Structure 1
Amino acid sequence: MIFNTQYPLVQAPMAGVQTSALCIAVSNAGGLGSLPCAMLTASQLRTELLAIQEGTKRPYNVNFFAHTPPEIDAARNLKWKNALAPYYSEMGLNIEEFPSGQGRTPFNAESAELLEEFKPPYVSFHFGLPKPELLKRVKAMGAQIISSATTVDEALWLQAQGCDFIIAQGLEAGGHRGHFLNHDLNLQMGTFALLPQIVKAVNVPVIAAGGIASSKGVTAAMALGAGAVQVGTAYLLAPECSTSAIHRKALQSEAARHTALTNLFSGRPARGIVNRVMRELGALSEFPPEFPLATPGIAPLRAKAESMGSGDFSPLWAGQNASECKNASAAMITHELAQGF
């Protein structure tokens, strides 16, 4: 089997809505469980890796962002602050305490050192790949490399850098777009248009991702040449997922029918359920600073609104096929998806 797992199925790493619990459950059910690491401190990452080590003896994947942190632009930050000021006032927050900062940390030497201790069998990246010297360290520990491509050009680039598996991330996928060579969203395409083109262009196994949330979707992806599939949204209602009550409610409502790409929560396009702030500021807005600098500024609004039971300022990440979300265990969801292989 492609990952030395029972099924060629990858559980998509979903930062902010899962911990090691989902990763362990999917790996134990026969898929490749994944741990999102982009929002974890070194201490938190160690704790999660120890939990995985204790919870499963089966293969698993750890995922990191590979972006280059931008310099803070005072003018852009001020524009963002001014756009959010009316909401701060409405929510009783002090706009003069408007926070700024990076919000997300890319894969670095500290992360590499920690992974060398645990030696995970698979390491995946979003937004390209880390610097060559860091990638070399990951390969030296015996890990196989996975990364996302949203165009054929990105897939060819990843193959040239020595990627072992390439995820063909279609436009339907929930969460952040993985594009890194070109930020023009007009170049993005749906999974079943992108997948066969990447399969034809590269010589490494291709993992289909985006809009696949049922066994029928799995069958369709495999028929188009996928070596495996990656599924995220379908797991969001599982008890092993740490999806918030507000997010769960939205996923089970009619609102889940309408998702859109938005840069309001991080500064980079990501797909989520449309909510108030997306409608009022525009899902793809001129206001947020570059990724990931937008996150700190909107965070106080999110926290305050959520404390009142509202998801008006929350990133309700979901793919376009959120109606397939099942309120079932991760094992049950994995086995149902596996019927498509």
Structure 2
Amino acid sequence: MRALFGIEHPIAQGPFGGGLSSVALAAAVSEAGGLGSFGAHLLGPERITALVADLRAATAKPFAVNLWVPHPGEDTVPDAAEFARHVDRVRPYLTEVGAPDPDGAGPFLPDFDAQLAALLAAAPPVISFVMGVPPEAAITEARDRGIVTVGTATTVDEAVALAAAGVHAVVASGSDAGGHRGAFLRPVGESLVGTFSLVPQVADAVPIPVIAAGGIADARGVAAALALGADGVQIGTGFLATKESGASAAHKAALHSAAARSTTLTRLFTGRHARTIVNRMTRELADQEDSVPGYPVQSTVMAPIRQAGEPGLMSLWAGQGAPLTRPRSAKDYVESLLAGL
């Protein structure tokens, strides 16, 4: 991993979407000898071009930019009546936080092909993907441009598919991980493999570097992942808790509270399964898990509530290692992860 990315330490920062990533965080991790990352799946082509320029201005060291591979049907916009029904489901919460109704006109996502073209043209040192296998042409073009590509797998079969597609490295993301689950070959419920079970199986199954992710939050987790055959680790929640991340004060406070000991996988916030700290929203709407629309429609419906900043109603993405985190700078966190290696 270190030789592949040109970094000093086998530590990668997980990419965050929805405003949780920051240029300051990615640059700080890269400057500390790891691989800083930025989640760009909600950014349009022009903003992606500007983002890569901003990252280059902030650090001369390698960094990664992440995109989501779209799933079929995610570009479908529901009719006005259907969208209104989904909004009515959360009407009491919209009223409580004083938020306006979400806009159901669509499109709800940037065009993936345009995003990918802009990112390839900007040529960051590393491009990572979640939610699927990136297009063959994109992998080929990335190689031609000298860009390292990374795929993300939640199962051994997904890792094998990514390796066969030609990515340079694969993240083995265990079910311990926070945020969205990236399963793409089988349903999420059939793809919940814990990190300590997943990593050695992936290491045995693919000929490319394996990066362990999920539940790793301190030096003990790093050492354990390396002992299981990983070439490095990717850490999300621990970096989300740092001073440089784009997480809100309420989100960071939740990561450092006793509440972080209880997380759940839910579709309520975005329509995709994602691990979050249990709160009032996940409890009160638990019986609606199978009724809410898929991503990105549900994400659009819930956006005004998530953005209102009420901890009991917002998405508090967190992995199962969240209780091991504490407030500090990204540089100090990287240094702590290397203790004993």
Give runs of aligned pairs for residues 51-130 of structure 1, distance below 5 A: 51-68=54-71, 69-74=74-79, 77-92=83-98, 99=104, 101-105=106-110, 107-116=112-121, 118-130=122-134
Give runs of aligned pairs for residues 189-338 of structure 1, distance below 5 A: 189-282=193-286, 285-304=289-308, 306=309, 310-338=310-338
Tell me if 1:48 matches 2:54.
no
One-letter amino acid of the structure 2 residue matched with residue 326 of structure 1: R
Give unmatched runs, 5+ long, in structure 2. none
Give the corresponding residue for 1:38: 41
- Structure 1 stretch 193-202 or stretch 133-142: which is displaced more? 133-142
- Structure 1 stretch 179-188 or stretch 54-63: which is displaced more? 179-188
One-letter amino acid of the structure 2 residue matched with residue 335 of structure 1: E
Give the number of equivalent residue pairs. 335
Whole-Å separation in 1 of the counterparts to 2:8 and 2:168: 19
Cα gap change, 1:131/1:106 in structure 2, threshold over 3 Å: closer, same or farther?
Answer: farther
Q: CA deviation at 1:79?
A: 4.5
Give unmatched runs, 5+ long, in structure 1. none
Q: CA deviation at 1:293?
A: 1.5
Runs of 4+ in 1 over 6 A off after TM superposition: none
Cα gap change, 1:284/1:28 in structure 2, threshold over 3 Å: closer, same or farther?
Answer: farther
One-letter amino acid of the structure 2 residue matched with residue 164 of structure 1: H
One-letter amino acid of the structure 2 residue matched with residue 72 of structure 1: V
Give the corresponding residue for 1:24: 27
What percent identity do the matched residue pairs reach?
39
Give the corresponding residue for 1:153: 157
Secondary structure of the 1:108 match is helix
8 Å CA contact 1:170–1:210 kept in 2: the answer is yes
Q: CA deviation at 1:63?
A: 0.5
Q: Deviations over 1:114-167 (max 9, x none)?
A: 432x32121100101333333333332211110110111111111111111011
Cα gap change, 1:337/1:102 in structure 2, threshold over 3 Å: closer, same or farther?
Answer: farther
Q: Deviations over 1:191-238 (max 9, x none)?
A: 001111111111111100000000010000000000110011111222
Cα gap change, 1:31/1:56 in structure 2, threshold over 3 Å: closer, same or farther?
Answer: same
Whole-Å separation in 2 of the counterparts to 1:256 and 1:303: 20
Normalising by structure 2, we get a TM-score of 0.91
One-letter amino acid of the structure 2 residue matched with residue 29 of structure 1: A
8 Å CA contact 1:100–1:296 kept in 2: the answer is no
Q: CA deviation at 1:43?
A: 3.3
RMSD over aligned Cα atoms: 2.1
8 Å CA contact 1:20–1:49 kept in 2: the answer is no
8 Å CA contact 1:147–1:166 kept in 2: the answer is yes
8 Å CA contact 1:37–1:63 kept in 2: the answer is yes
Q: 2:182 aligns with which of 171, 178, 181?
A: 178
